[in-house]
């Protein structure tokens, strides 16, 4: 297996291995999740989100998607840690647009250091995962060069939207908060899971606008399907140390309980 993983394309209702050659394609839609020994959180939610994005662009894929997802389940390894990615390539023939990339998952992340990208949100399609994925990876590399592990994207008014490859939530006392719809943020499945957990625990939730200089006074979590909840330890140029939340352990435990077998 290469660093990029094994690549498959749906052909005649079956995912078949594909040798990649030529320039890298521009992803139109993508989605990914962590699989640990065959268990995954909210897999159907990922399939539903991918479906909505794809059909918004190309209704001809509708009869192919159910079989595609069944093939994805079939090929998902039941042992080890994996980070599969499903892809839609719009520039190819309609019957050849659905792909799977099977990748080994990177090591878990225990904490993050944030860095604010200095310009307003540079993404072209912030509400769909795929078109800006390469750009977001570049933003994270910019963060790395500035001594951080994640880049924070802000809108034209300076309000926090999300991380380059993560959703951000924070705590105001016992209230779980996140950005509201005034900013463009990718619909995060992990964020939705946390808000549902908070509701089950009787914890208040809130959406709001906030700027980095105010956010660093609060406990911050970075969320992703790969790493779940990752506490933010510091923010380059704003705070050498951020406060922590006592809710980390109970939320992490409840999040793990959402995992079910691929089937």
pLDDT in tens, 58-81: 999 999 999 999 999 999 999 999
Distance, CA of 27 to CA of 143 (rounded, Å): 23
Distance, CA of 59 to CA of 26 (rounded, Å): 19
Domains annotated on the chain, with CATH: 6-102 (3.30.470), 112-261 (3.20.10.10)
- 185-233 pLDDT, tens digit per residue, is 999 999 999 999 999 999 999 999 999 999 999 999 999 999 999 999 9
Q: Given this model, what pLDDT does residue 77 score?
A: 97
Burial of 44 (0-12, 13-18, 19+ CB in 10 A): exposed
Count of Cβ atoms closer than 10 Å to residue 125 Cβ: 16
Query: What is the maximum span of the chain, computed from C-alpha positions, in angstroms?
Result: 55
Closest Cα partner for 70 from 49, 91, 100, 90?
100
- 16-31 pLDDT, tens digit per residue, is 999 876 556 778 999 9
Contact between 118 and 20 (Cβ < 8 Å)? no
Give the 3-state secondary structure of residue 198: helix
Considering the entire predicted model, what is its pTM? 0.95
Q: Which single residue is written with the structure tokens 């997802």?
A: 69
Task: List % helix, strand, coil for the chain (3-state, nearest 5).
Answer: 30, 30, 45
């Amino acid at each position: 297996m290469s660093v990029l993983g094994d690549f498959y394309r749906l052909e005649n209702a079956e995912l078949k291995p594909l040798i990649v050659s030529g320039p890298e394609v521009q992803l139109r839609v993508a989605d990914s999740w962590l699989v640990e020994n065959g268990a995954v959180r909210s897999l159907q939610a990922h399939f539903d989100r991918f479906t909505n994005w794809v059909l918004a662009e190309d209704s001809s894929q509708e009869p192919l998607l159910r079989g595609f997802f069944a093939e994805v389940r079939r090929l998902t390894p039941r042992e080890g840690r994996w980070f599969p990615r499903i892809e839609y390539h719009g520039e190819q023939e309609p019957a050849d647009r659905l792909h799977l990339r099977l990748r080994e998952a990177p090591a878990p992340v225990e904490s993050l250091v944030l860095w604010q990208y200095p310009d307003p949100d540079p993404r072209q399609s912030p509400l769909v995962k795929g078109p800006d994925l390469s750009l977001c990876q570049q933003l994270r590399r910019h963060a790395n060069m500035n001594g951080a592990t994640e880049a924070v994207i802000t809108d034209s008014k300076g309000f926090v939207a999300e991380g380059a490859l993560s959703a951000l939530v924070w705590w105001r006392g016992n209230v779980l908060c996140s950005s509201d719809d005034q900013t463009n943020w990718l619909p995060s499945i992990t964020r939705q899971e946390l808000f549902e957990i908070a509701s089950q625990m009787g914890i208040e939730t809130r959406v709001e606008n906030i700027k980095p200089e105010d956010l660093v006074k609060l406990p911050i979590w970075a969320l992703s399907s790969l790493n779940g909840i990752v506490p933010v330890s510091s923010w380059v140029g704003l705070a050498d140390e951020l406060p922590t939340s006592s809710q980390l352990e109970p939320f992490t435990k409840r999040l793990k309980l959402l995992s079910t077998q691929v089937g």
